[in-house]
Amino acid sequence: MWLSVLVGVVGLVVGLRLWYRTLSGRCVSSASMRGKTVIVTGASAGIGLHTAADLVKRGARVILACRNLEKARRVADELRKGASDGGEVVVKHLDTSDLASVRRFAQEILDTEKHIHVLVNNAGIYAPEERQVTGDGLEVTMATNHFGHFLLTNLLLDRLKQSSPSRIINVSSLGHKMPTSLDTDDLNLQSESYSQMTAYVKSKLCNVLFTLELARRLQGTGVTANSLHPGVVHTDIMRRRANSFFNLLLKLCISTVSKDPALGAQTTIHLAVAVEVEGVSGKYFADCKEAPTSSLGRDKDLTRKLWEASEKAVKLTPGEAH
C-alpha cells in the first residue's frame, strides 16, 4: 500500500514538473546582438548568468555588474569560451544595496561606454530573517531590489537615450501581486511588522510600479521599459533562505516543480532581443508574453508617489534626476 502511495506521489511530482516546464515560454528570436552593449546586474549566477550567456553568444558586449568580483571573473572566463560573432564579456563591481557603489559603477560606465543598448536590472535578494539596514539607512531588501536599480537607471538614462532604440528590463516576480497596499512613506518597513516575505514581495511590487512610471517619463525618447516574472525558478536566492519550517517547505516545492535558471532567463532574453517588442513599453511579461499585473501594480498615482519617495531615499541630485 505504502509503495503504491509513494509511486503515486512521485508520479504526480514528476508530472507537475514536466507540465510546468513544457508550458514555460521560450525565446524563439534568432536576432543578433552584434554591436550592442548590454549591462546585466547580478550576472554571476542564476537568471542573470544565463541571460548574459545567451547575449554573448548573440555577439553582444555584455557587462557583468556583480558584487562578487572573483566569482564574476570565473563566470566571465567561461562565457568567453561560448562567445561568438564578436561577443565580449566585461566584469565590473556593483553592489546595488550600496548607493555609493551604484554611483561609482555608473560613473565608470559613462566614462568608458559610448553606448548602452540594454540595461537588465536583475540583481536581487530574498529578505533576511531579521530586518537589516544598509549604511545608507535603507532596508536591505528594498535597497538591493529596488532603490539601487532606481538610482542606477536614472544615472544611465542619458546614455540610454543617446543609444536609442534601447531597452530597460526590470526583473520582478509574480509575488508583486501579494501586497494589498504599499505605504510610500514607509518603504524601509519600519512601521509595520517585518517579515521576509513582506519585504521581498513589496520590493517586487516596486519593480513593477517603477517600470510603469519610467515608461511614462520615457515616452518619445526611443527608450522602452518593461518588467517581468521569470517563473518559479530554483536559484541561489532559494538556497540562501533561512531554514524555518515555511521556508523548508517552500524550498522543497520549488526544487521539485520549478524551472532551471536557463529556462527562467527566457523572458528576460526575449525582452532584450525580440523584434516584436521593439517600441513596447510599460508592460509586464511572463513566459515571453504580456501578462496582467495586480490592480495595485497599475495604480498610476502610486507610481508617482513611489518615484518621488525613491528620489528622496537615494538622495537624487538635480543633475541626476529625470
- Rounded distance, CA 255 to CA 221, Å? 42
Asked whether residue 8 is domain-assigned, the answer is no
Number of folded domains in the chain? 1
Asked whether residue 318 is domain-assigned, the answer is no
- Per the annotation, the verdict on 200 as an active-site residue is yes
Q: Which of 20, 194, 200, 284 is catalytic?
A: 200
Asked whether residue 17 is domain-assigned, the answer is no
The CATH code of the domain that includes 290 is 3.40.50.720
Identify the CA nearest to 138 among candidates 184, 98, 188, 102.
Answer: 188
Give the DSSP letter of residue 283: -
Asked whether residue 151 is domain-assigned, the answer is yes
| pLDDT tens profile 45-102 | 999 999 999 999 999 999 999 999 999 999 999 999 988 778 999 999 999 999 999 9
Structure pTM? Answer: 0.88
Asked whether residue 301 is domain-assigned, the answer is yes
Asked whether residue 3 is domain-assigned, the answer is no
For residue 18, pLDDT beyond 90: no
| pLDDT tens profile 142-196 | 999 999 999 999 999 999 999 999 999 999 999 999 999 999 999 999 998 899 9
Asked whether residue 267 is domain-assigned, the answer is yes
Sheet with strand 166-171: strands edge to edge = 88-93, 61-66, 37-41, 118-121, 166-171, 223-229, 284-286, 289-290
C-alpha cell at 256: 521539485
- Rounded distance, CA 22 to CA 287, Å? 11
Q: Domain limits at 151?
A: 31-313
| pLDDT tens profile 269-311 | 999 999 999 999 999 999 999 999 999 999 999 999 999 999 9
Asked whether residue 223 is domain-assigned, the answer is yes
